[in-house]
């Protein structure tokens, strides 16, 4: 950083000029006032450890975060957590990466699922297992625990975990004489449902964005791997595996829904699909569990939920958890790290977990809440069955194969350039829908790009 | 502050005022340039050098870790079909936005320059108001308007019996849709500049032409447009740059899609540098390619158009 | 080009007393102009009008209609309440004003100075320096973003107004724009002023700036808008609530990646942050109009 120091002199000289120029200006007073205000709030009493926590939870989700942080701060005197919203996941990640370079990173950051490998590779973390009590990891549900674990143990703490579910307009299902979809339904079952719905006059059977997530999830549900080396779980992923077997079948199904007119072509979106569903222009929508509350509140009809389908040639496997986790950034100070961890453990206590779940739709990661739910939670589920679907879908996921080995398909892929590869899949949709390629051709082309990205990344990290 | 500056500047102009050799170099000029160049040096020129260094490396997302690869980022780009596609999209986008945007703006500015007894403030506000919103909000708004199922555009088109396209999700229409949005948001900016240019034209010229019996369109053609050439030149240069750097609307409207249909060069740089995996080295290399492209086009413009600009 | 040639040598400093300065197109009458402007204005403003009405529409009504309607069935202020209370919005708006105010001031002042030098003076390296200005105009922000972030962090200017303001105090665009406009002021005037003994400094502030009020007002609007609408830099350079800007508050609603877009609140937020820019615009617009009266060298 020495190279900057020569410039500082120049800058200071300039700052003086600027200060002189702005001397008469009203705004200078505001600057000073603003600066003072900041300092006053920051100047807490001496012994307290301050923990910076950056998150990506907007508006009402953010409000729940703030409420939990407030409860934590009120619950003890030793630690003060400052929770700051940093924008979207990408914004938060950008701020974090920049902060790493400049030594201004926070103590805790919420970062999205696909960044997991890169987070491991930063070497800037304190893995959760180092601070956990022995056996504490067992108190978490297997899926969120294992998703963020390496060979030694849990690295990050699943915070907002979600899975995809199918929301449907139950009035349209009734009108078409359809029952609720089975928990285990294949692509053919799905298409039969579409035919029945469309015969009853529904404009579109389903609506979904061509985001990478649904491909990943339905692939997992069909038992297909995304990456080699057991989805990148037993060694670094060096190639993608989605362009053969289940991957092609799943991609044909998804692109086919749009190509055959069962779903409107809305592109890579989370919001335009909502509008279509709410307007009654589609009977079903693929979306995240985290949207459950919004779906209920903003629709004028009765919304129900179902599991996602799987390919005809497979058994139902289950889903991978999505969402984001809390990562503890090493501050080089044991007491600070411990304080940060104290807050993270607080967030996994029963009461905060219940508040988080009922307030947002992200599901609780504490195993005890599912095996032995407190009465208030049970009542909530009885009143809001849609919140229950995702939990059941995840609970019934086959984390082990029939022979007792790990089912890596539902553990989810892990690779450094995963976010980049997800974009490549989004492009592949369009290659099929608008570029005249078959699903196989599009996935092969995608695989070639993805493999290059994997090679580049791995070479760099191992160099 | 103002006094000291005045003193300084006054000193420079102590020289005999009307010597024929005013052409001689004016050292005082550097005083006027100093603040601008100080800021540019620190916050533009220096970072460019740093970015060039990065472009010769593969850079880990988390910084620090770099692998020197020489010109690999550049050679790979030149061999990549995706890269050339981004160049193509950039150029199409430029061709789509610049002439239409400036043409509309000049026409509207001429209309607005007509002195009206009333309502001119309202017209101005209506036309300028899109300028004040950010590209992100423009993107969100148009995204809703373009929605093929519940959007306003196709609803209105259906009222006149036209079956509207799926604006954002067909490769050809997506580029058109983004172009319309950018032209729309840029329009007020262009109108303001064109209007300011028109207002600097000497009224006497019109009167003289009127006396000569020139009609309205003749006056526009022979006075307004020629006298507006410095403004038009400026608008062309700036609009080309803006069009080649357009990314906010693309970000929200299409995220570069469908496929890569609206991924222009600058959007790819954004995606590589700031989204998901973060390939900073590759992003820097592409940003330099973009800079070269803009330099080339600007150079052509300065050479080709610059000479035809008429300064009073 | 013959007319233009006449123009160049024409009687620019002639008697203008009897000219009615606003009679340019009067032969046509005002009616066609009114009609065209009204149509154009409504088309151009329509998306904003839609946004305005949407900001008063409850969300279920916005998303639950297959056939979009302009006016809400039930009017609500709930969206404004949401937008205003979702973040410490007043504080954000204040920060935006401070940031935008300084940036605008710096850009306008420095651009006037540099634009004047490029337009009027001969000096060593003039072309090279001008090329460097244009050069910095074409640099995509991505190229400078990360090094600038590191620099500002090194200086300890993260979470400060300096960090928000200083990198943007100069504007290559402004220099270029004002140079173009200054160049369109007849040089004879400058020579004449010099003969009368005026200094360069005096000529700039007493002649050039008043004559270019239209252009300077226009650039002021752009400088203000550019700074006001900044998002990525303020987001990354500030990570304390107390230093955030209004656009960040708006983006609160845009970044809900896994949930329904709250159109009404977004539009309400957009309307709120639009108000200051509209005010600046309306004030500056008066200057634009004055600019008309000042032009033509009648002064």
pLDDT for A294: 79
Q: Provide, as residue numbers in chain C, all residues whose Cβ is less than 8 Å from the Cβ of A14.
A: 166
Chains that touch A (3 or more CB pairs under 8 A): B, C
Nearest CA in chain C to A12: C155
Q: A20 to chain B: which residues are within 8 Å by CB? A: 1
Q: Are residues A135 and A268 in the same domain?
A: no
- Domain assignment of residue A434, given as a range: 165-318+417-462
Q: Tens digit of pLDDT for each residue in A259-312?
A: 999 999 988 888 788 888 988 899 999 998 887 887 888 788 999 999 999 999
**ipTM score of the complex?**
0.80
- Judged by CB atoms closer than 8 Å, whether chains meet at A10 and B261 is answered as no
**pLDDT band at B15; cut points 50, 70, 90:** very low
Which H/E stretch holds residue C101? helix C89-120
Residues of A in contact with B163 (CB under 8 A): none
Output the pLDDT for position A17.
41
Among the partner residues C102, C248, C259, nearest to A27 by beta-carbon distance: C102
Q: What pLDDT, in 10s, does the model give residues C176-224? A: 989 988 888 888 888 888 888 888 899 999 889 988 888 898 898 889 9
Residue with the larger pLDDT of the pair A225 and C297? A225
> Cβ–Cβ contacts within 10 Å for residue C207, how many?
18
Looking at the structure, do residues A262 and A330 belong to the same domain, yes or no? no
> Are both A91 and A212 inside the same structural domain?
no
Assigned CATH for B81-308: 1.10.3720.10
- Looking at chain C, which subunits does it touch, using at least 3 CB pairs closer than 8 Å as the criterion? A, B
Distance from CA of C9 to the nearest CA of A (A): 41
Task: Return the CA Rg of chain B.
Answer: 24
pLDDT (average), residues A111-124: 89
Query: B255: nearest CA in chain A?
Result: A268
Q: How does pLDDT run across A84-116, given as a tens digit for each residue?
A: 888 888 888 888 888 887 778 899 999 998 889
Chain centroid to CA C60: how far? 36
In this structure, are A207 and A249 located in the same domain?
yes
- Out of B42, B149, B258, the one facing A281 most closely (by C-beta) is B149
Residues of chain B contacting A299 with CB distance shorter than 8 Å: none
Q: Are residues A75 and A156 in the same domain?
A: yes
**Chain A nearest-CA residue for B80:** A449
Decide if A229 is inside a domain: yes
Question: What is residue C15's predicted lDDT score, i.e. its pLDDT?
Answer: 32
pLDDT of C287 reads 67
Position C14 scores a pLDDT of 31
Which residues of chain C neighbour B226 with C-beta distances below 8 Å? 1, 3-4, 7
**Which one is predicted more confidently, C73 or A206?**
A206
Per-residue model confidence (pLDDT) at position B6? 36
Mutation target to probe the B interface, by most B beta carbons within 10 A, among A207, A330, A460 is A460
Between B and C, how many residue pairs show a Cβ–Cβ distance under 8 A? Answer: 370
What is the nearest CA distance from C242 to chain B, expressed in angstroms?
Answer: 22
Q: Does C131 touch chain B (CB under 8 A)?
A: no
Same domain, A427 and A312: yes
Strand partners, A158: A325
Cβ–Cβ under 8 Å, residues A108 and A52: yes
Tokens 């079909």 belong to B81
Please tell me whether residues A170 and A146 are part of one structural domain: no
Give the per-residue pLDDT at C71: 86
Q: Rounded to a whole number, what is the distance in Å from the CA of B98 to chain A's nearest CA?
A: 27
- Among A331, A355, A380, the domain boundary falls at A380
CB–CB contact A10 B42 (8 Å): yes
Given a cut of 80, whether residue B221 has pLDDT beyond it is: yes
Interface contact A434-B259, CB threshold 8 A: yes
3-state secondary structure of B142: helix
Contacting residues of B for A21, CB less than 8 Å apart: 1
Residues C243, A38: C-beta atoms closer than 8 Å:
yes
More confident residue, C53 or C275: C53
Question: Does A35 contact chain B (CB < 8 Å)?
Answer: no
The alpha-carbon gap from B134 to the nearest alpha carbon of chain C, in Å, equals 5
Q: Which residues of A touch B169 (CB under 8 A)?
A: 265-267, 434
Q: Same domain for A129 and A240?
A: no
- Give the gap in angstroms from C-alpha A288 to the nearest C-alpha of chain C: 6
Average pLDDT of chain A?
85
The total domain count for chain A is: 2
State how far residue B142 is from chain A, nearest Cα, in angstroms: 12
Closest-CA residue of A relative to C64 is A279
Rounded-to-integer distance, Cα A195 and Cα A190, Å: 9
CA A414 to CA A234: how far, in whole Å? Answer: 10
**In this predicted structure, what is the pLDDT of residue B1?**
35
- The minimal CB distance from A419 to the residues B65, B259, B277 is found for B277
pLDDT beyond 80 at A66: yes
> Pick the residue with more confidence: C277 or A250?
A250
The share of chain B scoring above pLDDT 90, in percent, equals: 24
The mean pLDDT of A115-132, rounded to a whole number, is 90
Q: Which of A91, A434, A452, A454 to mutate to test the interface with B (most CBs of B within 10 A)?
A: A434
Question: Domain with A436 in it: what CATH number?
Answer: 3.40.190.10
Task: Give me the mean pLDDT over the C130-159 stretch.
Answer: 84
What is the per-residue pLDDT across B242-301, written as a single tens digit (0 to 9) for each?
898 888 888 888 888 788 899 999 899 888 888 877 888 888 899 888 888 888 888 888
Query: pLDDT tens digit string along C107-131?
Result: 999 999 999 999 999 998 899 999 9
Name A292's Cβ contacts closer than 8 Å, sequence gap at least 6: A305, A361, A384, A386, A387, A390
pLDDT of B310 reads 67
In 3D, which of C238, C282, C266, C222 has the Cα closest to residue C92? C238
Asked if A95 and A61 sit in the same domain, the reply is: yes
Q: Which of B68, B252, B254, B276 to mutate to test the interface with A (most CBs of A within 10 A)?
A: B276
pLDDT at residue A412 tops 70: yes
Residue C238: the pLDDT is 82
Chain B: closest CA distance from residue A393 (Å): 28
Q: Worst-scoring range by mean pLDDT, A351-365, B214-228, C15-29, C184-198?
A: C15-29
Domain boundary among A331, A351, A380: A380
pLDDT in tens, A436-454: 899 999 999 999 999 999 9
This prediction has a pTM of 0.82
In a domain, A56, yes or no: yes
Regarding whether A421 and A450 lie in a shared domain, the answer is yes
User: Is residue A191 domain-shared with residue A135, that is, in the same domain?
Assistant: no
Query: A15 vs C166: CB contact, 8 Å cut-off?
Result: yes
* pLDDT, tens only, A1-48: 333 333 334 334 344 344 444 333 333 333 333 333 333 333 344 578
pLDDT exceeding 70 applies to what percent of chain A?
Answer: 90
Q: Which residue has the tokens 């449907």?
A: A168
Distance (Å) from the alpha carbon of A272 to chain B's nearest alpha carbon: 7
A374-388 pLDDT, tens per residue?
A: 999 999 999 888 888
Q: Is the per-residue pLDDT at A63 higher than 60?
A: yes
Select from C87, C150, C256 the Cβ nearest to the Cβ of A101: C150
Report the side by side order of strands in the sheet with A164-169. Answer: A204-207, A282-288, A164-169, A303-306
By CA distance, what is C117's nearest residue in B? B29
| pLDDT tens-place string over residues C213-269 | 888 988 988 899 889 888 778 877 887 778 888 887 777 666 654 455 677 888 888
Question: Within this chain, do residues A442 and A346 fall inside the same structural domain, yes or no?
Answer: no
> Is the pLDDT at B172 greater than 60, yes or no?
yes
Kindly report, residue by residue over B90-101, the tens digit of the pLDDT. 999 999 999 999
* Contact list, B290 vs chain C (CB under 8 Å): 140
- Which residues of B fall within a CB distance of 8 Å from A122? 62
Round the average pLDDT of chain B to a whole number and report it: 83
pLDDT tens sequence across A21-34 = 433 333 333 333 33
Chain A, nearest residue to B40 by Cα: A11
What is the dihedral angle through the alpha carbons of A330, A335, A339, A342, rounded to the nearest 10 degrees? 100
CB–CB of A162/A412 below 8 Å?
no
Chain A CB contacts of C109 under 8 Å are: 21
Mutation target among A13, A430, A446 for the B interface, most CBs of B within 10 A: A430
Q: Residue C261's pLDDT is what?
A: 67
Residue A90: C-alpha distances to residues A114, B283, C257 (Å): 11, 16, 10
Pick the more confident residue, A148 or B223: A148
pLDDT (average), residues B9-15: 40
Range with the poorest average pLDDT among A19-33, A395-409, B20-34, C134-148: A19-33
For residue C164, is pLDDT > 80?
yes
Interface list for B 170-209 with C (CB within 8 A): 184, 187-189, 192-193, 195-197, 199-209
> Which residue of C32, C113, C140, C165 to mutate against B (max B Cβ within 10 Å)?
C140
Question: Is it the case that residue C165 has pLDDT exceeding 90?
Answer: yes
User: Domain C89-294 falls in which CATH fold?
Assistant: MetI-like fold (1.10.3720)
Q: Where are the domains of chain C?
A: 89-294
SS (H, E, C) chain A: CHHHHHHHHHHHHHHHHHHHHHHHCHHHHHHHHHHHHHHHHHCCCCCCEEEEEEECCCHHHHHHHHHHHHHHHHHCCCEEEEEEECCCHHHHHHHHHHHHHHCCCCCEEEEEHHHHHHHHHHCCECCHHHHCCCCHHHHECHHHHHHCECCCCECCEEEEEECEEEEEEHHHHHHCCCCCCCCCCEHHHHHHHHHHHHHCCCCEEEECCCCHHHHHHHHHHCCCCCEHHHHHCCCCCCCECCCCCHHHHHHHHHHHHHHCCCCCCCCCCCCHHHHHHHCCCEEEEEEEHHHHHHHHHHCCCCEEEECCCECCCCCCCCCCCEEEEEEEECCCCHHHHHHHHHHHHHHCCHHHHHHHHHHHCCECCEHHHHHCCCHHHHHHHHHCHHHHHHHHHHHCCCCECCCCCECHHHHCCCCCCHHHHHHHHHHHHHHHHCCCCCHHHHHHHHHHHHHHHHHHHHHHHHC
- pLDDT of C64 reads 67
Q: How far apart are CA A361 and CA B180, in angstroms?
A: 38
Q: Write out pLDDT tens, residues C17-61.
A: 333 344 444 555 778 889 999 999 999 999 999 889 989 988 878
User: Does residue B129 belong to the interface with chain C, where contact is any CB pair within 8 Å?
Assistant: yes
Contacts with C, B 24-63, CB within 8 Å: 24-30, 32-33, 35-40, 42-48, 50-51, 54
């Amino acid at each position: 950083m020495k190279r900057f120091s020569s410039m500082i002199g120049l800058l200071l000289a300039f700052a003086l000029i600027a200060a002189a120029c702005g001397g008469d200006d009203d705004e200078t007073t505001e600057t000073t006032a603003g600066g003072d205000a900041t300092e006053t709030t920051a100047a807490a009493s001496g012994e307290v450890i301050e923990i910076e926590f950056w998150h990506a939870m907007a508006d009402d989700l953010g409000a729940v975060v703030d409420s939990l942080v407030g409860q934590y701060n009120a619950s003890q005197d030793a630690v003060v957590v400052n929770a700051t919203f940093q924008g979207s996941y990408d914004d938060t990640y950008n701020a974090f990466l920049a902060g790493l370079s400049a030594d201004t990173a926070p103590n805790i950051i919420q970062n999205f699922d696909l960044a997991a490998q890169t987070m491991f590779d930063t070497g800037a973390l304190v893995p959760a297992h180092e601070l956990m009590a022995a056996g504490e990891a067992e108190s978490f549900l297997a899926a969120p625990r294992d998703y963020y674990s390496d060979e030694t143990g849990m690295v990050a703490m699943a915070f907002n975990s979600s899975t995809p579910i199918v929301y449907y307009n139950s009035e349209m299902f009734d009108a078409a004489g359809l029952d609720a979809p089975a928990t285990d339904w294949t692509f053919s079952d799905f298409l039969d449902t579409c035919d029945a719905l469309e015969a009853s006059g529904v404009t579109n059977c389903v609506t979904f964005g061509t985001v990478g997530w649904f491909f990943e999830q339905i692939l997992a549900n069909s038992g297909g791997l995304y990456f080699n080396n057991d989805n990148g779980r037993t060694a670094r992923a060096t190639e993608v595996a989605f362009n053969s077997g289940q991957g092609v079948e799943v991609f044909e199904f998804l692109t086919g829904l749009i190509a055959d007119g069962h779903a409107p072509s809305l592109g890579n979106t989370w919001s335009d699909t909502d509008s279509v569903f709410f307007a009654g222009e589609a009977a079903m929508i693929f979306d995240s569990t985290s949207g459950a509350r919004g779906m209920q509140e903003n629709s004028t009809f009765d919304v129900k939920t179902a599991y996602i389908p799987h390919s005809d040639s497979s058994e139902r496997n289950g889903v991978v958890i999505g969402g984001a986790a809390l990562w503890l950034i090493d501050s080089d100070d044991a007491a600070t790290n411990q304080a940060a961890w104290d807050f993270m453990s607080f967030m996994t206590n029963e009461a905060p977990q219940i508040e988080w779940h009922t307030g947002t739709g992200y599901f609780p990661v504490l195993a005890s809440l599912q095996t032995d739910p407190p009465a208030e939670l049970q009542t909530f589920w009885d009143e809001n069955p849609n919140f229950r679907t995702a939990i059941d879908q995840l609970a019934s996921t086959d984390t082990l194969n029939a022979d007792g080995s790990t089912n890596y398909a539902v553990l989810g892929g892990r690779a450094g350039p995963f976010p980049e590869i997800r974009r490549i899949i989004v492009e592949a949709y369009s290659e099929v829908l608008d570029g005249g390629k078959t699903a196989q051709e599009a996935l092969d082309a995608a695989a070639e790009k993805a493999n290059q990205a994997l090679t580049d990344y791995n070479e760099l990290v191992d160099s | 502050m103002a006094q000291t500056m005045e003193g300084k500047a006054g000193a420079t102009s102590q020289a005999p005022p009307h010597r024929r050799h005013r052409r001689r170099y004016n050292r005082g000029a550097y005083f006027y340039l100093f603040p601008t160049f100080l800021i540019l040096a620190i916050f533009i020129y220096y970072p460019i050098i740093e970015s060039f260094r990065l472009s010769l490396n593969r850079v880990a997302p988390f910084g620090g870790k770099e692998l020197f690869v020489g010109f690999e980022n550049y050679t790979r780009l030149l061999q990549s079909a995706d890269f050339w596609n981004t160049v193509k999209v950039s150029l199409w986008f430029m061709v789509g936005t610049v002439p239409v945007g400036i043409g509309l703006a000049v026409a509207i500015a001429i209309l607005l320059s007509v002195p009206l007894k009333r309502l001119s403030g309202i017209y101005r506000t209506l036309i300028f108001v899109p300028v004040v919103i950010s590209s992100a909000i423009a993107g969100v708004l148009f995204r809703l308007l373009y929605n093929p199922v519940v959007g306003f555009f196709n609803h209105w088109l259906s009222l006149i019996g036209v079956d509207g396209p799926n604006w954002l999700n067909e490769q050809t229409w997506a580029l058109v849709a983004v172009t319309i949005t950018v032209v729309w948001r840029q329009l007020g900016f262009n109108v303001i500049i064109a209007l300011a240019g028109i207002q600097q034209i000497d009224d006497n010229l019109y009167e003289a032409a009127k006396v000569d019996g020139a009609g309205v369109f003749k006056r526009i053609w022979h006075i307004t447009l020629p006298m507006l050439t410095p403004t038009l030149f400026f608008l062309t240069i700036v609009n080309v740059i803006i069009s080649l750097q357009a990314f906010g609307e693309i970000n929200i409207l299409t995220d570069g899609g469908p496929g890569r249909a609206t991924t222009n060069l600058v959007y790819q740089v954004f995606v590589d540098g700031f989204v998901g995996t973060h390939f900073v080295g590759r992003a820097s290399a592409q940003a330099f390619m973009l800079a070269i492209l803009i330099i080339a086009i600007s150079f052509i413009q300065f050479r080709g158009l610059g000479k035809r600009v008429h300064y009073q | 080009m013959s007319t233009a040639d006449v123009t160049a040598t024409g009687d620019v400093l002639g008697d203008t007393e009897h000219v009615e300065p606003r009679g340019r197109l009067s032969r046509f009458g005002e009616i066609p102009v009114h009609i065209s402007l009204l149509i154009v204005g409504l088309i151009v403003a329509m998306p904003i009008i839609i946004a305005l009405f949407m900001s008063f529409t409850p969300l279920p009504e916005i998303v639950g209609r297959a056939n979009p309607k302009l006016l809400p069935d039930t009017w609500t202020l709930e969206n404004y309440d949401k937008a205003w209370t979702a973040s410490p919005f007043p504080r954000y708006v204040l920060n935006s004003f401070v940031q935008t105010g300084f940036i605008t001031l710096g850009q306008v002042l420095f651009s006037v100075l540099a634009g004047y030098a490029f337009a009027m003076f001969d000096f060593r390296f003039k072309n090279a320096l001008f090329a460097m200005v244009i050069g910095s105009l074409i640099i995509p922000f991505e190229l400078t973003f990360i090094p600038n972030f590191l620099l500002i962090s090194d200086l300890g200017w993260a979470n400060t107004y300096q960090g928000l303001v200083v990198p943007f105090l100069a504007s290559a665009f402004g220099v270029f724009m004002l140079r173009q406009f200054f160049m369109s002021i007849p040089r004879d005037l400058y020579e004449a002023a010099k003969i009368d003994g005026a200094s360069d400094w005096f000529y700039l502030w007493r002649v050039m700036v008043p004559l270019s009020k239209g252009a300077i007002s226009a650039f002021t609007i752009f400088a203000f808008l550019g700074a006001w609408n900044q998002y990525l830099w303020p987001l990354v350079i500030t990570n304390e609530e107390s230093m955030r800007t209004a656009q960040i508050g708006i983006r609160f609603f845009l970044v809900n990646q896994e949930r329904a877009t709250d159109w009404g609140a977004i539009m309400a937020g957009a309307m709120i942050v639009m108000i200051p820019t509209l005010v600046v615009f309306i004030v500056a617009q008066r200057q634009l109009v004055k600019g008309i009266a000042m032009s033509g060298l009648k002064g």
